A and B are shown apart, each in its own frame.
Chain A
Amino acid sequence: MPAAAFFFDWQNWVTLGIGLVALIYLLRRWGLGRRPERASAPSCGQLPPGESAPASACGGGCGSCESSGMPQRDHRITVQRAKAR
């Protein structure tokens, strides 16, 4: 196809645009340009003081992911003893 004919055909431009979008999508999906992930996410308990764990690290439902503070929720079961009369 002559270069001029290629330039004036709208289908060529749309096709090239689709190709570019597909390529960018794949590159982004495969993490090009992203920071490398940590080999294995540390659990909340393994972190040094002041550092926060990523949300994927625990999944224990304590609600303290991304924060180095005390757990917001306590999932321990408290046994309610009947009071002695």
Chain B
Amino acid sequence: MPEEGNPLTARLDHWVLHPVLGPVILATLMFLVFQAVFSWAAAPMDMIDAGVGQFGAWVQAHMPEGMLRNLLVEGVIGGAGGVLVFLPQILILFGFILVLEDSGYLPRAAFLLDRIMGSVGLSGRAFIPLLSSFACAIPGIMATRTIGDPHDRLKTILIAPLMTCSARLPVYALLIAAFIPDRTVGGVFNLQGLVLFGLYMAGIVSAMIVALVLRRVLKQSEAQPLLMELPDYHWPHLRNLAVGLWERAKVFVTRVGTIILALMVVLWFLANFPGAPEGATAPAIEYSLAGMIGRAMAVVFEPIGFTWQICIALIPGMAAREVAVAGLGTVYAIAQTGDDLHTALQGVLAQAWSLPTALSLMTWYVYAPQCLPTLIAVRRETNGWRVPLIMATYLFSLAYAMSWGVYRLALLWSA
């Protein structure tokens, strides 16, 4: 803790680094960030959603009927276009993180959390990899190279995917907007923001519990002290903030325009071929290759409330978590016909799914390693398939068990 230097920093640190008040201030700050993610993003999200919807309607009206029009409306606009809607929420979340980082608060957060992390057997050096995992687990896993002890490093790698990465945000945002009413709790708090905060906390608390279990399984090394410089507080530089946000936006839009778009095109083909037989009454997707795969998977996922449409979306969602949103957009756009077709996915889901199913899927996304690149990164970092296989097994098992529990509880509650 700085003894000398800037008097304002010393005065603020007296409260911010207080053993009791410090964690309370940190929790309150994070809570407010998640409130803002839902409250502030509503207007720009509605604008993008309306723009995407109008563009889809324009293409539908002006292009002659045919396969290309269907691909553009259902796969490209209904699928990949639907993911663009979540750009404002991602920018608001990262805007807050950048402000906290640039103001000098983030190293204090590391200092505050070090004690908690130490109590569950994590090295002080695990903070930076775990913090990086909130953006994406891959740089977080790569950042574990700074942890010298192999057991500590392994523990950090195994829990890094439980930190809520930014790719989960579109999935959470879609399901929360569709199923959690937009109302105020206790006169102040937005219920949707509260649920989002709960999902982030569920990931963090679960990671700490898993670390505690691993502490007993793996050999405990000697505690490594966390040494870091606490800079003086200062106002964030607007230029840094603008550059950081621009980079985030560029990464997100590039992902939508490349991998998500390509996956949606392939999914559209799988969901349209082979076509429906003569005299078929159900939507064509039910007879397609994707429909067959979805129905086969539904046998396994039915006990946790997943429909065959969710099962289809989970497959491309293995490439990147947010692709599941685009997948659902494509699947439901194909399943609807004529006048029913619209791009407001949340309205469709609210009608098609029950609340227990939505809660179960949210829980699934807290735990499931729905990201192949993360598993590949773990293989590279650990020089083999043993650790990624252990990771995938424990995370899928945890995801299934937790989703089953949440689904059953929600069914009992809603009965």
Q: Which of B69, B259, B380 contacts A39 (CB 8 A)?
A: B380
Task: From B64, B67, B268, B380, name the one whose CB has the most chain A CB atoms within 10 angstroms.
Answer: B67
In A1-58, the 8 Å CB interface with B consists of 1, 9, 11-12, 14-15, 18-19, 22-23, 25-26, 29, 37, 39-40
Q: Provide the residues of chain A in CB contact with B258, threshold 8 Å.
A: 25
Q: Provide the residues of chain A in CB contact with B381, threshold 8 Å.
A: 40
Who on chain B is nearest to A23 by CB?
A: B266
In the complex, are the beta carbons of A18 and B383 less than 8 A apart? no
- Is the interface on chain A under 10, 10 to 19, 20 to 34, or 35 or more residues? 10 to 19
| A44 vs B383: C-alpha distance when bound (angstroms) | 19
Q: A25-B258, A26-B259, A39-B380 are in contact. Are A19 and B68 (CB under 8 A)?
A: no
Q: Which of A9, A22, A26, A39 contacts B67 (CB 8 A)?
A: A9
Check: B263 CB closer than 8 A to any chain A CB: yes
| Binary contact track B379-399/A, C-beta < 8 Å → 1, others 0 | 011011000000000000000
In B236-264, the 8 Å CB interface with A consists of 258-259, 261-263
Who on chain B is nearest to A41 by CB?
A: B380
Q: Provide the residues of chain B in CB contact with A37, threshold 8 Å.
A: 380
| A22 vs B258: C-alpha distance when bound (angstroms) | 9
Q: Provide the residues of chain B in CB contact with A29, threshold 8 Å.
A: 259, 262
In the complex, are the beta carbons of A11 and B67 less than 8 A apart? yes
Main SS class of interface, A: helix
A54 to chain B, nearest CB (A): 13
In the complex, are the beta carbons of B269 and A19 less than 8 A apart? yes
Task: From A1, A18, A37, name the one whose CB has the most chain B CB atoms within 10 angstroms.
Answer: A18
Who on chain A is nearest to B71 by CB?
A: A15
| Binary contact track B69-103/A, C-beta < 8 Å → 1, others 0 | 10100000000000000000000000000000000
In the complex, are the beta carbons of A9 and B266 less than 8 A apart? no
In the complex, are the beta carbons of A11 and B266 less than 8 A apart? no
Q: A19-B269, A37-B380, A39-B383 are in contact. Are A12 and B262 (CB under 8 A)?
A: no
In the complex, are the beta carbons of B383 and A19 less than 8 A apart? no
Who on chain A is nearest to B272 by CB?
A: A15
In the complex, are the beta carbons of A11 and B66 less than 8 A apart? yes
Chain A interface (Cβ < 8 Å from any Cβ of B): 1, 9, 11-12, 14-15, 18-19, 22-23, 25-26, 29, 37, 39-40
Q: Which 9 A-B pairs have the closest CB atoms?
A: A11-B66, A11-B68, A22-B265, A22-B262, A15-B67, A39-B383, A15-B68, A25-B262, A12-B67
